[in-house]
Structure 1
């Protein structure tokens, strides 16, 4: 379940049944399912917020949580970034810096309000997964970093003013801490994507995420800036597999 960082727009082969959700057939969930021989139900959807998981229909699909039932044995979720307009503002500030028109930016005050609500929303996602699937293992996966670490300079792949770079570095750090904090509070394992991608941001020599003007992937409508690439999805799948461990029993009899 989750947002575009789970769905994988622009990565590998496109799932033709996913409509506006733009799911990839080689996102981390598909890679893990193939590695472990799991029966995957992928409901990740680009643009999703916690509300789209819990109660809201998106792109004609039911709320994502409806895919979870008593037979579910593993749930993975990457969500929260859209609740606080993380990628949206990253694109908006880039648009402004590069001379674009009608750049959409949510104010710092509104972003802060969204952050105040985010921990409670994430806790509700965790609680609802456990209510519907009491035998399931839940793992939260954080967001891979687009930007270099706090205080580090940007690069041509991420065209931002210095002030906007610092602002977005702080937003990413806050988002990472909120997800990690809720995971710790609820006893939920978490894949710490901020650490996995710390030397693989969009400015690095081997990025796990695309910069602002990546090449388009064949089979997709166009390029997808500021999102995980295939290398990033591969690394997340490996980290998720390691988090689950060798002895995990996902059979329906467990």
Structure 2
């Protein structure tokens, strides 16, 4: 905030007995330089005003938050983190003219907020302090290797029974139950830690957009058996449901992506916000540029609310 200081102005007193000629010579300069106290105060106040501080914005989280797979990568960011310069945080910061510090990183789970994820990649919470104004994060999908393990296991058994539910039959509840038992409390703790480090910040936890439609899927673009698609949706529903609950429990805002991302999953063709498994590189089964822009729009709407 600008600081205004009142400066006292002392007017000169012309001594008696000054020669007329001297007065005549100095009078024009004196007239030009003489200020009233009010004018001096106003001029000095204007000269000492400092510009308003920019909103300090920090983005945390996993590969969905980092924008993994969306080119180009953020300059000078750790290569392990696959952090995009077009992820939702960069879009929000540009639109809102925020001062962004982005420490999101591919593969991060809740433990990586508190501990170094890789050599040269410090704990994400280190980016926060009392001056932080806004924090966004997407987290929880990598805890217990939830997303990666589910997709891998279901892909491995899909070819044996494309129309059945081999993954659900074999693994089902073992993939879903840890969300309530383990991931929910871990996300709650993560949100507490964020608020401890940034006590003056507005904190927003973003939910995950849909990876798949409610039923059937789109084999081979998403190499999953038809009968296993509902189980993956149930897993995502659990992650978002318990993410919302954790946010509510800790007094944090939840940015819901489930409604707006319906019909924009990896099977949605040109309308997709998620890249299918057949996409080469690290962007497979992650939000594409359109998906990141959609998340940014919901974050901006939440900030404006």
Does structure 2 conserve the Cα–Cα contact (< 8 Å) formed by 1:21 and 1:59?
no
Distance 1:73 1:230 in 2: 26
Corresponding residue for residue 5 of structure 2: none
* Structure 1 residue 114 displacement after superposition: 5.4
- Say how many residue pairs are matched: 232
* Cα distance, 1:199–1:24 mapped onto 2, change above 3 Å: same
Alignment RMSD (CA, Å): 2.0
Picking from 166, 171, 175, the partner of 2:239 is 175
State the TM-score, normalized to the length of structure 2.
Answer: 0.71
Question: SS where residue 47 of structure 1 aligns?
Answer: coil
Q: Which structure is higher in helix share?
A: 2
Which structure has more relative contact order (CA 8 Å, sep 6+)? It is 1
* Cα distance, 1:56–1:5 mapped onto 2, change above 3 Å: same
Question: SS where residue 40 of structure 1 aligns?
Answer: strand
Distance 1:90 1:51 in 2: 22
Corresponding residue for residue 217 of structure 2: 154
* Structure 1: runs of 5+ lacking an equivalent: 100-104, 217-221, 247-254
5 Å-filtered alignment, 1:1-254, equals 1-15=60-74, 16-53=76-113, 55-60=114-119, 61-84=121-144, 85-98=146-159, 108-109=173-174, 112-113=177-178, 115-149=180-214, 152-156=215-219, 157-205=221-269, 206-214=271-279, 216=280, 222-245=281-304
Question: SS where residue 166 of structure 1 aligns?
Answer: helix
State the TM-score, normalized to the length of structure 1.
Answer: 0.84
Does structure 1 conserve the Cα–Cα contact (< 8 Å) formed by 2:63 and 2:105?
yes
* Cα distance, 1:97–1:209 mapped onto 2, change above 3 Å: same
